[in-house]
Structures are given as structure tokens and as C-alpha cells.
Amino acid sequence: MQVIPVLDLKDGAVVRAQIGERDRYRPIKTPLAPSSDPVDVARGLLSVHPFQTLYIADLDAIEGLGASEAAMRRLRHALPQVSLWVDNGIADPDSASAWLARANHHLVLGSESQRDAKLVGALSGHDRVVLSLDFRAAQFAGPTELLDDTRAWPRRLIVMTLARVGSGAGPDTARIAQIRARAGGRSIYAAGGVRDAADLAALQHLGVAGALVATSLHDGRLTGADLARLEA
């Protein structure tokens, strides 16, 4: 099972995500890093465990306020050995093709940013495309055909319950199980609510391929020893 730390970027800083209410996000204060600078925080996370992948949510880009290009360049330069999964709100074919051509990382297509299922369907066979199925409470955030038509799904899926992000409420296991039952062998990654090693064990029991985590790493409830045992 793969654990992927999350960095939420806003105004050039890493912010602490909280139940999907982005207007409340503030620069993170964490014992893992001396500042909220993205490179500092990324290095702090890597001091906990030698993660191979980081998930980056460019919140400014997702909200149409301009991409955090400078921060992304610095992360790529500082951490060349780390694979990045990047959600930057891309929703059109030209932007997706240009991004995939110039970056050797994974493009996350968030359902909340999509106007229809066409882009995801067109890129579903691309090895570096990940679909994030985003949920706000009980509601799917995105075009309904993207949730209903599994033929459009790529081989990696994130099940993102935004109301559980940073909440300490535990992962949304019922919804994750429902999506996995329809996914036809695709790899499922859980996002939102992971508190500790017990939650990861529960997700592993469900058969998910990985989990996106942030708060539990910064708060110390999920440790390097926990992660080492998970991989043993």
C-alpha cells in the first residue's frame, strides 16, 4: 500500500486543508518544517519517510487564480527523485496535452474542475493521468456522467471526500468500497480523513492501492515507524 503525502499550495505557501473550505486555509505551521515554503515542507515530510510520490494541489490554479508555476519549478528542482501527482484544475485538451508533454509527472484531473467527461475519457489510457472523484458531503462534485460511466475512468482513481480532509473523522470507507466495487481492477487511492496506522490498515483491508495523507503526518499521529511496518 502506497502512502502519498499531500501539499496544498495557495499564494505560494503550503496551507493546512480543513474540510474543503478553502477560504479558511492558512499557511501551515508544522514541526516538520521551519516555514510554510513548499520545499521546506516537502523536505520535512521526506524526513519522516522516504516517500516516492507527493500529491500537489495547486489551489490557486484550481480556483482560476493562476498557476503556482514558481513553486512547482522549485519543487521539481529540489526533489528530482520524487514523482509528483499534480491537480492544477486542467479541464481542456490543449492544456492537458501541453502539461503532459513538458512534465514527466502525473496529471490529476479533478472531477470538480471538469465540464463533462470528454477530457477524462480521451486521456483514460494515458499512463500518467489520474482521475480524482471529488465529493462534497454526499454530493459528487463534477459532471454526473463522469461518475456514472466507468468506461471513462483511467487506471488510477482517487476517491476524495473533501468534507473529511483535515477533519480527523476517519476515511470514507463506505464510499471507497462502493467505488472500488465498480472500478474493475483499477487502483483506488483514498483521500480525506486518514488519522493513523489503524485507518491505513482498514483501507488496506478494503483493497485500496494507497492513501493521500497530510494532517496525520504533521501532527505525528502517523509516524515513520508506522509506515515502515506498513511496507514490511
45-56 confidence digits (pLDDT tens)? 999 999 999 999
Residue indicated by cell numbers 454526499:
138
pLDDT for res 19: 64
pLDDT for res 64: 87
Given a cut of 70, whether residue 209 has pLDDT beyond it is yes
Across 104-120, average pLDDT = 95
Distance in angstroms (rounded) separating the CA atoms of residues 173 and 55: 21
pLDDT for res 159: 97
Identify whether the C-beta of residue 12 lies closer than 8 Å to the C-beta of residue 70: yes
Confidence class for position 82, pLDDT limits 50, 70, 90: very high
* Cβ-based neighbours of 143, under 8 Å, separated by 6 or more: 111, 114, 115, 116, 117
- Residue 41: how many other CB atoms lie within 10 Å: 27
More confident residue, 102 or 160: 160
What residues does each domain of the chain span?
A: 2-231
pLDDT for res 119: 95
**Per-residue buried b or exposed e for 108-135, using 16+ beta carbons within 10 Å of the residue's own CB:** bbbbbbbeebbbbbebbeeebbbbbbbb
CATH class label, 2-231: alpha beta
Query: Residue 93 corresponds to which cell in the numbers above?
Result: 485538451
Given a cut of 90, whether residue 20 has pLDDT beyond it is no
pLDDT for res 103: 79
More confident residue, 164 or 74: 74
What digits encode the pLDDT tens for the residues 148-176?
Answer: 999 999 999 999 998 888 677 789 999 99
Beta-ladder partners of 188: 157
pLDDT for res 21: 61
Q: What mean pLDDT, rounded, does the chain reach?
A: 93
Task: Give the global pTM.
Answer: 0.94
User: Which of 79, 86, 14, 73 lies closest to 50, judged by CA?
Assistant: 79
DSSP H stretches of helix in the chain? 38-48, 59-62, 69-78, 93-102, 118-122, 144-148, 173-182, 197-206, 215-218, 224-231
pLDDT for res 150: 96
DSSP H stretches of helix in 103-223? 118-122, 144-148, 173-182, 197-206, 215-218
pLDDT for res 17: 76
Evaluated on CA atoms 43, 133, 207, 215, the torsion sign reads: positive
pLDDT for res 23: 65
